[in-house]
Amino acid sequence: MRPLQDILYKINLQTVIGHTDIPVLSIEIDSRRIQKGSCFIAVKGVAGDGHLFISDAIASGAVAIVCENLPAETVPHVTYVQTNDAAKAAGMICHAFYGYPTQSLKLVGITGTNGKTTVATVLFNLCRELGISVGLISTVHNRINDQILAATHTTPDVASLNQLLHQMSDAGCEYVFMEVSSHAIHQQRISGLHFTGAVFTNITHDHLDYHKTFDEYRRVKKMFFDQLSAASFCITNEDDKNGSYMLQNTAAKKYSYSLKNAAYFKGKIIDNSIMGLHMLINDQEVMFRLIGEFNAYNLLAVYGTAVSLGLDKQEVLRVMSNLHGAEGRFDWSLSPQEGVIGIIDYAHTPDALLNVLTTIKKLQKGYEQVITVVGCGGDRDKTKRKVMGATAAMYSTKAILTSDNPRTENPSQILIEMKEDLTIDLFKKVVTVEDRREAIRMAVMLARKDDIILVAGKGHEKYQEVKGVKFPFDDKAVLLEAFKELDK
């Protein structure tokens, strides 16, 4: 509980009706969560306008309303606060309500199209192995040391995020590693937070259903770096042409990592096999369990972040050499009898799929088939569908196109769109199996000894979303079940 006046600090106030010395028991941006004594912030979002639910919030017990547009009629004993930007105010109010947790935490945000989850997870695991109290906010799950909390979004809503950071501060966490999505930046869910560090992995074709153009998507990512203070640091991928763009207006200390160009954190791949990566990092030779060039970049980002945080370089590399990646990220299994390699990966963008398939190509001895099972999600960027289909066909011996969270769309139509750019030769390599379970089983049935199966798109997800319902579905469990049938 905090007095309303204490949590309005730094907010651009235009009008205040009522008293600000009243106690507030909770901050909510969802009117359905309102309880007696809550402050409701009416945010104009993509899916709806919180202003439409002000009366519902008051009926449920809200004692204060923060909004951009005051209602025509006000209710006695309710305080109304008008501001020019409710989304920005929401972040600052929530951060104040939960006691400014990022003043005691060293918060590092990781943004980019691909690699966020792996970088955040490996940094978290690194700190745990070093005996450091740490928090993780990621697509897969949120963690406070050994406590695992469910994750529903890459970056939680502003109220949940600040509550989670408060819990991490109370638990004595020294560091928190957080995935920062473009949606969260644009919707100002990170407003009010102080970031000790920020990491840029890469930016490729994604989320254009939301951002509409690539330039807008890129601009939103850059906003994260523009907001950093001079006391912060940022690390960017020098081999991504947009890395330098992210740094143009930032006040933070600037570092870079690279496999191909001069950089503060320089890496070189000596060997890349199914057993892992053999690398040079700033002239130190290290073996890692992670596989592929894309993971070499992720490891450089982890190393650069850890060093920038002041951790011992040798200890960091020693511990990193034994760490695994995040669940559902190039997560491989072996069929015991037949020796078929199965890989589960979250690759759901054209670039991520290309990265995984080119990595697999480098692991091939030359004669193995590569069988790819992949789909595209419904109610998402439609322009990437034909690119995903063509990429799967081009870099695979056989591509099995299938359903992947069709949501409200017809999965058959999505599959038709995935085949739009296929040449005659590529079309011959493609088969369509709408049922994802059957598609994975078909891949296993087609595989011979030493062949490689890639099941892409869902990674760690444990559901298939159809018509608003999430049905239980786990790619890895289905693949392992099919392997058992194969080995009988």
Question: What is the chain's pLDDT, residue by residue, as a tens digit (488 residues)?
Answer: 999 999 998 899 999 999 999 999 999 999 999 999 999 999 997 678 999 999 999 999 999 999 999 999 999 999 999 999 999 999 999 999 999 999 999 999 999 988 999 999 999 999 999 999 999 999 888 999 999 987 766 668 899 999 999 999 999 999 999 999 988 999 999 999 999 999 999 988 655 556 568 888 888 999 999 999 999 999 999 999 999 999 999 999 999 999 999 999 999 999 998 889 999 999 999 999 999 999 999 999 999 999 999 999 999 999 999 999 888 999 999 898 778 999 999 999 998 999 999 999 988 888 899 999 999 999 998 999 999 999 999 999 999 999 999 999 999 999 999 999 999 999 999 999 999 999 999 999 999 999 999 999 999 999 999 999 999 999 999 999 999 987 66
Q: Indicate if 387 and 352 belong to the same structural domain.
A: yes
Q: Which residues contact 457 (CB under 8 A, 6 or more apart)?
A: 346, 347, 348, 374, 375, 376, 377, 404
Q: Which of 265, 296, 320 is the last residue of a domain?
A: 320
Q: Which residues contact 52 (CB under 8 A, 6 or more apart)?
A: none
Residue 205 is predicted with a pLDDT of 61
Kindly give the pairing relationship between strand 265-273 and strand 276-281: antiparallel
Q: Indicate if 421 and 480 belong to the same structural domain.
A: yes
Q: Does some domain include residue 326? A: no
Q: Which of 320, 344, 373 is the last residue of a domain?
A: 320
Amino acid identity, residue 418? M
Residue 50 is predicted with a pLDDT of 95
What's this model's pTM, rounded to 2 decimal places?
0.84
Task: Select from 29, 22, 31, 16 the least CA-distant residue to 1.
Answer: 22
Q: Indicate if 422 and 392 belong to the same structural domain.
A: yes
CATH number at residue 292: 3.40.1190.10
Q: Indicate if 255 and 337 belong to the same structural domain.
A: no
Residue 487 is predicted with a pLDDT of 67
CATH number at residue 20: 3.40.1390.10
Q: Indicate if 76 and 137 belong to the same structural domain.
A: no
Residue 362 is predicted with a pLDDT of 86
Amino acid identity, residue 103? Q
Q: Which of 97, 123, 157 is the last residue of a domain?
A: 97
**DSSP track, 119-184:** HHHHHHHHHHHTT--EEEE-SSEEEETTEEEE-SSSS--HHHHHHHHHHHHHTT-SEEEEE--HHH
As to burial, measured by CB atoms within 10 angstroms (0-12 exposed, 13-18 middle, 19+ buried), residue 383 is exposed
Number of domains in the chain: 3
374 and 402 in contact (C-beta within 8 Å)? yes
Instruction: Evaluate the CA torsion angle 236, 239, 242, 244 in order and state its sign.
Output: positive
Residue 278 is predicted with a pLDDT of 97
Q: Indicate if 88 and 114 belong to the same structural domain.
A: no
Amino acid identity, residue 201? T
Amino acid identity, residue 429? K
Q: Indicate if 120 and 265 belong to the same structural domain.
A: yes
288 and 321 in contact (C-beta within 8 Å)? yes
Tokens of 460: 């760690």
Q: Does some domain include residue 456? A: yes
Amino acid identity, residue 113? T
Measure Cα distances from 472 to 152, 451, 457 in Å: 15, 28, 16
Q: Indicate if 210 and 154 belong to the same structural domain.
A: yes
Task: Select from 89, 87, 71 the least CA-distant residue to 79.
Answer: 71
Q: Indicate if 278 and 360 belong to the same structural domain.
A: no
Q: Does some domain include residue 219? A: yes
Measure Cα distances from 187 to 72, 199, 216, 314 in Å: 26, 19, 14, 39
In whole angstroms, give the CA distance from residue 377 to residue 400.
15
Q: Does some domain include residue 325? A: no
Q: Does some domain include residue 31? A: yes
Tokens of 316: 């960091």
Task: Select from 478, 164, 143, 189 the least CA-distant residue to 326.
Answer: 143
Q: Does some domain include residue 290? A: yes
**For tokens 């099972």, what's the residue?**
373
As to burial, measured by CB atoms within 10 angstroms (0-12 exposed, 13-18 middle, 19+ buried), residue 11 is buried
Kindly give the pairing relationship between strand 370-374 and strand 398-401: parallel
* Owning domain of residue 189: 101-320
Q: Which residues contact 468 (CB under 8 A, 6 or more apart)?
A: 407, 408
Q: Indicate if 92 and 118 belong to the same structural domain.
A: no
In whole angstroms, give the CA distance from residue 303 to residue 317.
7
Residue 56 is predicted with a pLDDT of 97
Q: Indicate if 383 and 464 belong to the same structural domain.
A: yes
Residue 152 is predicted with a pLDDT of 66
259 and 293 in contact (C-beta within 8 Å)? yes
Q: Indicate if 176 and 293 belong to the same structural domain.
A: yes
SS3 of residue 47 by DSSP: coil
In whole angstroms, give the CA distance from residue 485 to residue 179.
38
